[in-house]
A = this chain, B = another copy of it.
């Protein structure tokens, strides 16, 4: 079964950005309102969907089981630093420590890994849906997020 659309890639072409490309090109340009050479990442509210509904919302049709989105971060409590990562049927739970994304020796971003759990914390059921959330570390351009969902 093949789906052909304007945004499917020609055979042999892949969208496999490095962490650095995601942060320093896609996320930085998005946050600063600069145009992207190829508009390959849709902007959605990731927490308004369950993970299995996300592939259809991806702008790029790929044969890989990876999809990329821009998404705003929803703060749970007014000025607090805790973010609300619940969806209607489950929630995304942080796993491990955030890792840094580097350009040479300079840290340009951070990468957080989250796992989707069905149900409500703390009794949710772990699934195989994994999201990598990238945020920009930059004096002018803080507090922006680009999640990448992967299963």
Q: How far is the CA of A38 from the CA of B11 in the complex (A)?
A: 9
Quick check: is A21 within 8 A (CB to CB) of the other chain? Answer: yes
Contact with B along A13-52 (1 / 0, CB 8 A): 1111110011001100000000011101000000000000
B13 touches A25 (CB 8 A): no
Interface residues of A in 73-113 (CB under 8 A from B): none
| Residues of B close to A65: CB separation below 8 A | none
B13 touches A38 (CB 8 A): yes
| Residues of B close to A37: CB separation below 8 A | 10-11
Q: How far is the CA of A10 from the CA of B68 in the complex (A)?
A: 15
- Closest Cβ of chain B: how far from A109's Cβ, in Å? 14
| Residues of B close to A13: CB separation below 8 A | 9, 13-16, 38, 40
Q: How far is the CA of A40 from the CA of B12 in the complex (A)?
A: 10
Residue of B nearest to A4 (CB): B37
A21 touches B17 (CB 8 A): no
25 A-B pairs in the complex with CB atoms less than 8 angstroms apart: A9-B13, A10-B36, A10-B37, A10-B38, A11-B17, A11-B21, A11-B25, A11-B26, A11-B37, A12-B15, A12-B16, A12-B17, A12-B18, A12-B21, A12-B22, A12-B25, A12-B26, A12-B40, A13-B14, A13-B15, A13-B16, A13-B40, A14-B15, A14-B16, A16-B16
